[in-house]
Amino acid sequence: MIPRRFSAELFAALLLALLVGSPYAQAPASPAAYSVLSKEGRRPLPSRTIAGQEMFALEDLARLFDFTFREDATAGGLVVTIRNQTIVLSAGQGLASAGGRLISLSAAPVHEGRAWFVPVDFVSRALAPVAAMRVDVRKPSRLIVVGDLRAPRVAGRIEPMGSLTRLTLEVAPATPHTVAQEGSKLVIRFDADALDAALPASTTPEVIQNVRPGEGAAVIAIDLGPRFATFRASDLPADRGAGRIVIDVMAQAGAAAPTAPAQPPAATPEQPPLLDLAPAGALRTIVIDAGHGGTEDGAKGPGGTLEKNVTLAVARRLKAALEARLGVRVILTRDGDDTVALDQRAALANNNKADLFVSLHANASVRPGATGAEVFYLSLDEYGEDAARAAHAESESLPVFGGGSRDIEVILWEMAQARYIQESAALAQAIEASLRERVPMSARAIQQAPFRVLVGANMPAVLVEMGFLTNADQEKQLSSDEFQNAVVQGLVEAFSRVRDARGAVGRSGGPAQGPGR
């Protein structure tokens, strides 16, 4: 008979051996680290999965984003301090007070050992707004872009097509680039700071051996195979501000034609979709109007700052941010020091079937102490009953060539904005709420006024006075990168909320709001 003690030890040893060989005895593998891309370069940010939720160590975030934090024993949570602003986190609750504003997080902070962990969306929902900095968290590619860096998304596929192999790269937003042959490879150089690229594996090594990152932060290299003969490259427009690069690589005459594999490999969960763009029915085109320009200087600050220069600088920043973050098509009414008539600005938006129109300005006052941003939408009081009739206008039946008739909406220029007054008011409210979190606002932050630039817009339209140039302190703010970035971030956030609201309406089966076509 085996002694009882020996039997217990043997049982324990066997149990341990079984557990060691069991997957339940192994800690879950840590997910791949994120890359944080900023002007300082690219730095890794490890993540960890806790209770099924991906999280960052708060200490790692503090080193990267230069903030401090401390435990609040009384409240049982954390206080994060960044740029004289605070974020208060409570253990066990997926809520945070960020700069005095209550926000929700995907999970509560977790305290393990000596470390605190916060969910990934803490960075974009709490840290970025309080610090007034642009942070774009791209989960599919595990990339975090900080600041006004240009990092377009690039997704590609390879298609064998008989005597040629086609490489298609979709780029969002569309980005200037060059394609050139350098020895045994093709090189695509983008006018960008970095690339967020998902590159395809080659299925035709005789013609294209590999598609890989090239030498440089925004370069793609295509290693050519032994049967390469020549290539042609073309650029095509894609939806919602994206671009498409098509490169056809031809094989040598008499070479075996590349053939597609019988069963193409299924996409793995790690492979991102070809493009992550705004859904259909949401925002597609936004027109940004940089006020004044050319012979019209606009307001002038005591230090000599001209309104036309401030509005153009912000418009350019806003265009880049909207294209990168929302994937929408953005059109500027002017991209230089040009004189553009007021009606021309709205006409440009109408002709491009824009979903939103925003005119950027800097204010002026005889009172040098006047300060704060203001958001305007059109007042139609002077049009009286005509405006009310235009808002509910019915179509007219007009004859067409060849017989018959067609219903056409005929709207006077002065009445175009009438039917969008309510939507313009809602857009103004969204912009005011978002700007208020980031920049000083006037005591009368939302107003109505009969601005000519808004009258003919056939879509929701607002005018944003970003601050008073005639205030010496605010003149300095309006000229600074930090303030302009805060305005841009506020506008992008407002447009994002409008897009989400439209998408929700579309998913519920109701009519999506937007301009009449």
The pLDDT value given to residue 209: 92
The pLDDT value given to residue 71: 86
The pLDDT value given to residue 75: 61
The pLDDT value given to residue 148: 86
Angle formed at CA 274 by CA 272 and CA 279, multiple of 5 degrees: 100
Which pLDDT tens digit goes with each residue over 436-451? 999 999 999 999 988 8
**Widest Cα–Cα separation across the chain:** 108
pLDDT tens for the chain, residues 1 to 517: 444 444 444 444 444 444 444 433 344 456 788 989 888 888 999 999 998 889 999 999 999 999 999 987 766 678 999 988 889 888 788 888 888 788 888 888 998 888 899 999 999 888 988 888 888 888 888 899 998 889 999 999 998 887 889 999 999 999 999 999 999 999 999 999 889 988 988 778 889 999 999 998 899 999 999 999 889 998 888 777 788 999 999 988 764 444 444 344 333 333 333 344 444 446 889 999 999 999 999 999 999 999 999 999 999 999 988 887 888 889 999 998 999 988 889 989 988 889 999 999 999 999 999 999 999 998 876 554 544 444 444 444 444 434 444 433 434 445 677 889 999 999 999 999 999 999 999 999 999 988 889 988 999 999 999 999 999 999 999 999 999 999 999 999 999 999 888 766 554 554 444 443 3
Which residues is 45 bridged to in the sheet? 34
The pLDDT value given to residue 223: 94
The CA distance from 372 to 289, in Å, is 20
Instruction: Locate 383 and state its tokens.
Output: 């049009």
Nearest to 237 by CA among 282, 175, 165, 180: 175
The pLDDT value given to residue 382: 55
The pLDDT value given to residue 385: 52
CB atoms near residue 92 (< 10 Å):
11
The pLDDT value given to residue 376: 95
Look up tokens 């999965």; give the residue: 49
Positive or negative: CA dihedral 378, 431, 284, 513: negative
Nearest to 103 by CA among 120, 91, 85, 121: 121
- The 8-class DSSP code of residue 516 comes to -
Q: At what angle do helices 481-507 and 307-326 cross, to 10 degrees?
A: 40
If 0-12 CB within 10 Å is exposed, 13-18 middle and 19+ buried, where does residue 232 land? Answer: exposed
CA distances from 289 to 15, 23, 154, 307, 490 (A): 72, 59, 29, 13, 17
Instruction: Locate 411 and state its tokens.
Output: 């709207």
The pLDDT value given to residue 328: 86
Q: How far is CA 279 from the centre of its chain?
A: 13
- The 8-class DSSP code of residue 30 comes to P
Q: Which domains does the chain have, with CATH numbers?
A: 34-146 (3.30.457.10), 153-251 (2.60.40.3500), 285-507 (3.40.630.40)
Whole-model pTM: value is 0.46
Residues 6+ apart with CB under 8 A from 490: 431, 434, 435, 437, 438, 439
The pLDDT value given to residue 414: 57
The pLDDT value given to residue 90: 82
What's at 264, amino acid-wise? P
Nearest to 494 by CA among 348, 378, 380, 373: 373
The pLDDT value given to residue 236: 84
What's at 187, amino acid-wise? V
Q: At what angle do helices 472-479 and 481-507 cross, to 10 degrees?
A: 70
The pLDDT value given to residue 191: 93
The pLDDT value given to residue 468: 96
The pLDDT value given to residue 504: 61
The CA distance from 449 to 452, in Å, is 9
